[in-house]
């Protein structure tokens, strides 16, 4: 090639420069990924690069030069994910965000013969908008309930045309094209990404982050409950265990009349309550006016509390009776 003449046994200058350039980009980028760009039309690829310009940089090169450049860095293990159609991707974003950005950048595409259906391809009930023609018999020959209805080809009910994982034939591809159905996706696929000494594979990057976060929170809650129940001290359970111990200690101190700034109030209240209970057993002549007043207040409060409790019980009973009557009326209406 003009401008790139190399003597046999030597390495062309442009290859050396390319490897050096790739190496510099690999070493300077916090996150380096390998993307599969195979079978992406040029226009589609240009759109993807434009959409992600501020977040992601794509760099295409020959596979062997990409591997050589990686071997000169600490990210060498990424070379195992390079195959036909591979390219580098450089970014400051974390691998999971890069994966989601690339997924969002994908767009629908027609199915070609030999493509594998990523999901079930369903022909939905209703008019196709196409005029009567040979397509009706073609659909029927493939088990699709098609008919002519009001001057156009119509599908009688939702029907799975191609099952997930099946290979799309030329005949099926042609029919999908006529129906203007684009069941495939075209876009860059992130095969693996390297960040802070770790490689994140596609299987990991594609996890549902919302569900994963929920699972982690649930697991944490159950673990915390277990460590609390079994009195296992951890960074997170120690505070709860200390709080529980403090509550039990205070309760024990109150029961044993051990005076402290925290227990003096409850102990005094308990003593007054016990004194009033004892005073109720004595002849009223033995009581002074102050004690009688306290007893009257105590009895009045108890009477009020009893009345409130009785009212609540009666209200609950009334509600149950109403619910029962409503239920009987409902049954009556149901059975005529």
User: 54-88 pLDDT, tens per residue?
Assistant: 899 999 999 999 999 999 999 999 999 999 889 99
Question: What is the structure's pLDDT at 299?
Answer: 64
Contact 223, 211 (CB under 8 A): no
pLDDT band at 315 (very low <50, low <70, confident <90, very high): low
- Burial class of residue 245 in the structure, from the number of CB atoms within 10 Å of its CB (0-12 exposed, 13-18 middle, 19+ buried): exposed
DSSP bridge pairs for 182: none
| Residue in 35, 25, 33, 34 with CA at minimum distance from that of residue 73 | 25
Distance CA 325, CA 26 (A): 77
pLDDT at residue 274 tops 60: yes
Contact 10, 168 (CB under 8 A): no
Mean pLDDT of 133-162: 91
Long-range contacts, stretch 135-143, CB < 8 angstroms, 24+ apart: 135/175, 135/178, 138/171, 138/175, 139/175, 142/171, 142/172, 142/175
Question: What is the structure's pLDDT at 193?
Answer: 96
Distance CA 214, CA 162 (A): 34
The DSSP code for 188 is -
Q: Please count the other Cβ atoms lying within 10 Å of the Cβ belonging to residue 126.
A: 13
- Domain 13-106+187-207 class in CATH: alpha beta
pLDDT at residue 293 tops 90: no
Q: Please count the other Cβ atoms lying within 10 Å of the Cβ belonging to residue 79.
A: 17
Superfamily of domain covering 121-184: Ribosomal protein L10, N-terminal fragment, domain II (3.90.105.20)
pLDDT band at 267 (very low <50, low <70, confident <90, very high): confident
Contact 35, 188 (CB under 8 A): yes
Read off the pTM. 0.56
Strand order in the sheet with 189-195: 56-59, 86-91, 31-36, 189-195, 198-201
């Amino acid at each position: 090639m003009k401008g790139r003449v190399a003597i046999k046994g030597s390495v062309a200058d442009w290859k050396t420069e390319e490897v050096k350039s790739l190496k510099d980009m690999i070493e300077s980028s916090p996150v380096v990924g390998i993307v599969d760009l195979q079978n992406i039309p040029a226009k589609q690829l240009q759109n993807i690069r434009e959409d992600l310009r501020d977040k992601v940089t794509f760099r295409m090169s020959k596979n062997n030069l990409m591997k050589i450049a990686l071997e000169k860095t600490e990210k060498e293990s990424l070379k195992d994910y390079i195959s036909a159609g591979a390219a580098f991707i450089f970014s400051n974003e974390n691998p999971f965000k890069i994966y989601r950005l690339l997924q969002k950048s994908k767009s629908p595409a027609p199915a070609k013969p030999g493509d594998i259906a990523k999901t079930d391809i369903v022909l939905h009930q209703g008019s196709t908008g196409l005029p009567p023609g040979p397509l009706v018999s073609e659909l029927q020959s493939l088990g699709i309930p098609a008919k002519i209805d009001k001057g156009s080809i119509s599908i009688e009910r939702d029907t799975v045309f191609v099952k997930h994982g099946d290979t799309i034939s030329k005949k099926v591809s042609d029919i999908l094209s006529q129906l203007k159905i684009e069941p495939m996706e075209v876009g860059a696929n992130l095969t693996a990404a390297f960040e802070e000494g770790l490689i994140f594979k596609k299987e990991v990057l594609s996890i549902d982050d919302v569900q994963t976060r929920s699972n982690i929170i649930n697991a944490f809650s159950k673990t915390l409950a277990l460590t609390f129940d079994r009195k296992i001290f951890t960074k997170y359970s120690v505070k709860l265990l200390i709080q529980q111990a403090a509550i039990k200690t205070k309760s024990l101190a109150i029961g044993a009349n051990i005076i402290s700034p925290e227990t003096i109030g409850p102990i005094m209240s308990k003593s007054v309550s016990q004194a009033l209970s004892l005073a109720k057993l004595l002849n009223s002549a033995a009581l002074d006016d102050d004690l009688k007043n306290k007893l009257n207040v105590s009895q009045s409060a108890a009477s009020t509390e009893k009345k409130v409790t009785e009212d609540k019980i009666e209200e609950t009973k009334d509600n149950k009776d109403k619910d029962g009557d409503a239920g009987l009326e409902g049954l009556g209406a149901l059975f005529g």
